[in-house]
Amino acid sequence: MWRDLTGYAIFAFCTYFVLLCAFYIFFDITAKGLPVLMDKGTDFLTKSPETLVVFKDEADEIVQMPMSEYSVFRKDNPAAVIRDEHTHSYSAGGIMGPLVGTALLVIVCMLVALTTGVATAIFLNEYARKGRFLNLVRLAIMNLAGVPSIVFGLFGLGVFCLWPWLPVLTYEPSESAVLVFAVPFTDGWLSFQGWGTSILAGGFTLAIMVLPVIITACEEALKAVPMGFREAAMALGATKWQAIRTAVLPYAKPGIMTASILGVTRVAGETAPIMFTAALAHKGALPWQEAKGSGLFWLSDFLTQSVQALPYHIYTVSARIPQSEYTEPMQSGSVFVFMLLVMIFAGLSIYLRGRYRKNLKW
């Protein structure tokens, strides 16, 4: 009796201890980050990172100013007393740039990953016959799921950034382009020059990384649709594709939605794959402010820009710049916002899946 109880207690302790550790991390990061967010208000979300200037004024009081404000201040008050001036990179302003960059990367990634993922899942669940090809595909997906994210980063760097046979639309083709076509009726070119460090390269890299997750989740959604639906549609004379389109996909839609949110959770939190494929530590303007041209040319220019990304920004401010008390608010604030965002998506996917599974009683 006592031995049973002790065993029981040990198992329970292990379970709750893990949850407690995780909870402590949430708590600690919230406790440090929330005050920063309260203090800086919406500025933290609507301004981009800037260099912070710290100095002592004539009253010997420590003044902190973002670089942009500081240069205006110096111009207006050329006679101002400034002592002990020092700067801290990325420690002022907010995280608008990184937020936007992460959002763009996630959008591009999900567009690519959902298209291929859903199509693959449809093939695996609806079309494929048991055989060598199916086994091979399943093996590949399973193995792809285990590949370290940094390896995807290297792969993305090799393929999407540096391989020259990927086309862009541009007004000024690069010298390293392997093939250039003039686009009729415009003065632009279709240039095969690779995508470089860009949203596109990062998005595709992330998409490849998240593909196994999406495929598995979509397959689950398709499997949940009863066989009878397909048979009924076919019996009514529908072709295979018509049956899928009218009798399977509409009922699998909530499941596919869940899969995509699960994918967003995975992708938004990743740093390693975008380190060399998309992310940049510093960028002055937001991507749409720098894109040139019109129409498709604008889109191409827009998508081949590098961006700041929130996880990379956190890496930069917490490990790559000298640490000081003035950098801390930026660190805790960005980590808190980032964690909150990812957690919201995670919560949403868990909630949706729970609800979806509950409703799946045909």
List binders of other proteins among 294-313 (CB under 8 A): 311
Q: Verify binding: residue 146, other proteins, rule CB under 8 A.
A: yes
Q: Which is nearer to other proteins, 17 or 181 (CB)?
A: 17
Which stretch in 82-90, 121-129, 166-174, 177-185 sits in contact with other proteins by CB under 8 A?
121-129
**Residue 288 region, left (φ>0) first, then alpha (ψ -120 to 50), else beta?**
alpha
* Chain residues 212-241 in contact with other proteins, contact rule CB under 8 A: 212, 215, 233, 236-241
Q: Which is nearer to other proteins, 157 or 221 (CB)?
A: 157
190 contacts 206 by C-beta, under 8 angstroms: no
Of 103, 137, 183, 249, the one binding other proteins (CB under 8 A) is 137
Count residues binding other proteins (CB under 8 A): 86
164 contacts 177 by C-beta, under 8 angstroms: yes
Q: Verify binding: residue 162, other proteins, rule CB under 8 A.
A: yes
Of 38, 347, 357, 359, the one binding other proteins (CB under 8 A) is 347
Which stretch in 17-25, 50-58, 76-84, 253-261 sits in contact with other proteins by CB under 8 A?
17-25
183 contacts 189 by C-beta, under 8 angstroms: yes
Distance CA 2, CA 6 (A): 6
Classify residue 3 as exposed, middle or buried by CB count within 10 Å of its CB (0-12, 13-18, 19+).
exposed
Counted residue by residue, the chain has a size of 362
255 contacts 221 by C-beta, under 8 angstroms: yes
Q: Verify binding: residue 158, other proteins, rule CB under 8 A.
A: yes
Q: Verify binding: residue 338, other proteins, rule CB under 8 A.
A: yes
Distance CA 335, CA 328 (A): 11
Distance CA 139, CA 228 (A): 29
Which stretch in 50-58, 59-67, 152-160, 181-189 sits in contact with other proteins by CB under 8 A?
152-160
Q: Which SS3 state, helix, strand or coil, does residue 290 take?
A: helix
Of 92, 218, 221, 342, the one binding other proteins (CB under 8 A) is 342
For the beta sheet containing 179-182, the strands, ordered from the edge strand earlier in sequence to the opposite edge, are 167-170, 189-192, 179-182
Q: Verify binding: residue 3, other proteins, rule CB under 8 A.
A: yes
Which stretch in 82-90, 148-156, 252-260, 296-304 sits in contact with other proteins by CB under 8 A?
148-156
Of 46, 71, 77, 143, the one binding other proteins (CB under 8 A) is 143
The least distance separating other proteins from the CB of residue 107, rounded to whole angstroms, comes to: 18
**Buried b / exposed e along 146-167 (16+ C-beta atoms within 10 A):** eeebeebbbbbbebbbbeeebb
Which stretch in 58-66, 124-132, 290-298, 299-307 sits in contact with other proteins by CB under 8 A?
124-132
* Chain residues 259-298 in contact with other proteins, contact rule CB under 8 A: 265, 268-272, 275-276
* Chain residues 31-90 in contact with other proteins, contact rule CB under 8 A: 32
Q: Verify binding: residue 112, other proteins, rule CB under 8 A.
A: no
The least distance separating other proteins from the CB of residue 156, rounded to whole angstroms, comes to: 10
Q: Which SS3 state, helix, strand or coil, does residue 50 take?
A: strand
Looking up tokens 């003044």 gives: 63
